[in-house]
Amino acid sequence: MDADFDPSVYVRPPKLDVPSAVALSIKLVAATPDGAPLSVKKAANTLRQAALSLQESWKARDRVEKRPDARPVDVLADHAMSRLFGRIEDYSGLPAETHPHAARAGVLLATLFPTGLSFLKADYASQWAETQKRLDRINEEDLAADIDVVAGPEFLAEVRRIHKLYGEAIGITKARPEITVPSLVLPLREVGDAIVRHALQLVSVCLDEEAPLESRTAARDALRPLDEYRANAARRDTPKESNDAVTPETEVPEVPR
């Protein structure tokens, strides 16, 4: 056994975040010796189950935190309003002497779009409010019939349809249900505890003078992932090992039989 082997360093778990806890668990489980005592294999299985539970909680949190993306509906709202504006604007440009509704189209344009379409560049809530303001005015002043004449009935109807979807998408007209974000504190702590129990079972083999040297060496080697993690974490002048590749779906290996 190494002269500098210190069993006391394994009685407490290292500082872990969720990805590093999963990554370290995978390495420790994979390093479990094939011929390890039953106590070591039981501890390794406990660690594996704790890592899987952490991954499940991680997945659940990610599902909750990934709110519906309002951008697709925002694009539809922009297009619908732009088409309505374009139809009214085009009609207002027709010769008034041959197209008597052209003058009315100009009035509608000035009434509903005094600053053009600049409001479409605002944030979601502001754009929704500006659109709602225009629809309210259309209703209050009975402008829908005139708009349908100069633009065609499909264009205002499309603005109304998309506006309803827009309000729901951003949570204004249809409140989003309250969702509790799953906490990862407990499953992360359970992984840390399982790492300690697994390490202590390996330490007991390392210190067992009656165990074959091969078994003691294999147990010491199985602790290397934990030693390396602590060493990397302690070196502040070097970047920590990246766990970007670890996800809630990363496979946790089986414990050797």
Average pLDDT rounded to a whole number, residues 34-40: 92
For residue 1, give the nearest of 233, 212, 165, 237 by alpha carbon.
Answer: 212
Render pLDDT for 57-84 as a digit per residue (tens, 0 to 9). Answer: 998 887 765 666 788 999 999 999 999 9
The amino acid that residue 98 corresponds to is T
Residue 237 one-letter amino acid? D
Q: What is the mean pLDDT of the chain?
A: 89
Q: Of 257, 225, 254, which Cα lies nearest the Cα of 241?
A: 225
State if pTM tops 0.85: no
Res 238 pLDDT > 70: no
Give the per-residue pLDDT at 240.
Answer: 47
Q: What is the CA radius of gyration of the chain?
A: 33
Task: Give the number of other Cβ atoms within 10 Å of residue 5's Cβ.
Answer: 13
CB 54, CB 35: distance < 8 Å? no
With H, G, I as helix, E, B as strand and everything else as coil, classify residue 184: coil
The DSSP call for residue 1 is: -
